[in-house]
Amino acid sequence: MIRSLTLAALLATATALPAQTAPAPPPPIVTDARVAALRDAALTDNYAWEITEGLTTEIGQRLAATPAEARARDWAVRKLTAMGFKNVRVETFSMPVWTRGAESAEILAPFPQRLVVGALGNSASTGPEGITGEVIGFDSVDELRAAPDSAVRGKIVFIDNKMAPTQDGSGYGQFGAPRRQGPTIASMKGAIGIVVRSIGTDHHRNPHTGATGFANGARPIPAGALTIPDAEQLQRILKRGKPVRMHLTLVSNARPDGQSGNVVAEVPGRDPSLAPILVSGHLDSWDMGTGAIDDATGVAIAAAAAKRIMDTGQPLRTIRVVWFGAEEPGLFGGLDYRKRHGKEPHYAIMESDFGADRIWRVNFKLGEDRKQEARTIGAALAPLGIVTGSYEDADGSDIGPMIEDGLPAIGLSQDGTRYFDLHHTPDDTLDKVDPQQLRQNVAAWTTVLAVLSGGIEEPKARKRR
């Protein structure tokens, strides 16, 4: 919003200035009629819905390195093959696997009642008998860090930490700290367990899970997330000033010998010597919901856009669709792809991993020499209500490390206002996907691919030659 207003203000000023001091207007950018037609046709897309509906219904949750994720890979290979993609294959890799068991949290005193809790990924297991301890509450990771070890030792730490919705999802970095760092700090101070207020923006009795970890040699301890209403309840109970005792059960299992994999499929380009375009999402999900917005829609959008190009004809450059495995526990799929292919040239890399509400912004990191190409894409996206953000920055989850390596990237930003209501919760289910906004996503991706792919040769034209 601010960007647009500034630009509008500048243009208004420019018009008012004498002609000789006004900067030369940029050359006009007219969107190629075939690109515009592909974009507009994608607004009636059904491929992305079919993939999202099929994957979430026929597989459901797809926790990394579990049999459910393996079934999802089989499903993906069948689906992508049936859609007509070429070179459909799985690139497998090994990784540790963490799975969830029984979970409960019970206030024993002063006000006996049960709270709703879910273990964070990589939590230690309490065993079925659970643990019991006094609760000590903090409002932030910094407060916990500042507390003397003696105040924390032998206790169950609780970190309250409010997160508010933002369109760009930027709150997740800052407000995710209790989940990411809290367990390590609590463990190093001698806590026997930790529960954090769910890193989310809703008010439902559904915990937000997500990966945690134990750094600096910290001994793993049981670590869970209370739902937001339960965290508020615990906060109210603590504020009564009486000692609060909790019985916490977070059963889980961790073993080193899991297997996951990336599913790869291609629309071969007319010139195989040219660097491919990578479009992606991640196939795995957390285990609480059916992984609809995180990230069935992501793999669906990427594949649907590539399929729409394929339906039109053969692109000059190869489009490579990758459905990454095991993003959630720590970008395992992205890192495996990087190890195998990260040194190969890529024309651009893209990932959809922020739900499927409408795309409101495009960011580019294609380099200064490709700015005109970026402007062409930005102009073609504008009729979808998409604003051009940065020319120097783009992001993605699995592809993040490769962007840091310097591979050229484009980021299409979904509206994240309600994303953290659902993210990593049991509520991440198909009914949360808005089919019309999903289509706008496909239209945006199709537009980008139509420009990037270097010209699509239609079947008839090929025949005529």
**Which residues sit at the interface with a second copy, rule CB under 8 A?**
53, 56-61, 68, 71, 110-114, 116, 203-206, 228-229, 232-233, 236-237, 240, 288-290, 425-427, 429-432
* Those residues with Cβ within 8 angstroms of residue 306's Cβ, 6 or more apart along the chain or in another chain: 85, 267, 279, 319, 321, 449
Smallest distance from a second copy to CB 41, Å: 27
Smallest distance from a second copy to CB 325, Å: 19
Half-sphere exposure of 429 (CA within 13 A, CB side): 7
Nearest residue (CB) to a second copy, 99 versus 390:
99
In 3-state terms, what secondary structure has residue 301? helix
* Cα gap 32→95, rounded to integer Å: 45
* Those residues with Cβ within 8 angstroms of residue 50's Cβ, 6 or more apart along the chain or in another chain: 300
Smallest distance from a second copy to CB 113, Å: 3
Nearest residue (CB) to a second copy, 134 versus 232:
232
How far from chain centre, in Å, is Cα 295? 7
Q: How many contiguous H segments (helices) and E segments (strands) does the chain have? A: 17, 16
Smallest distance from a second copy to CB 422, Å: 10
Nearest residue (CB) to a second copy, 78 versus 462:
78
Strand partners, 89: 264
Nearest residue (CB) to a second copy, 125 versus 206:
206
DSSP 451: H
Nearest residue (CB) to a second copy, 77 versus 449:
77
Smallest distance from a second copy to CB 18, Å: 56
Nearest residue (CB) to a second copy, 153 versus 203:
203
Nearest residue (CB) to a second copy, 71 versus 270:
71
Smallest distance from a second copy to CB 429, Å: 4
Extract long-range pairs of 171-175: CB within 8 Å, 24+ residues apart. Answer: 171/201, 171/420, 172/199, 172/420, 175/199
Nearest residue (CB) to a second copy, 125 versus 290:
290
Smallest distance from a second copy to CB 61, Å: 7
Please name the residue ranges forming H helices in 17-119.
33-41, 47-58, 67-82
Please name the residue ranges forming H helices in 176-227.
177-180, 182-188
Smallest distance from a second copy to CB 300, Å: 16
Among 356, 333, 370, 374, which Cα is nearest to 423's? 356
Nearest residue (CB) to a second copy, 144 versus 292:
292
* Cα gap 103→345, rounded to integer Å: 46
Handedness of CA 148, 153, 158, 161 (dihedral sign): positive
* Cα gap 352→412, rounded to integer Å: 7
Say if residues 213 and 180 touch (Cβ distance below 8 Å): yes
Nearest residue (CB) to a second copy, 229 versus 454:
229
Smallest distance from a second copy to CB 97, Å: 17
Please name the residue ranges forming H helices in 389-458.
400-405, 419-422, 435-452
Smallest distance from a second copy to CB 161, Å: 16
- How, if at all, do strands 409-414 and 359-365 pair? antiparallel
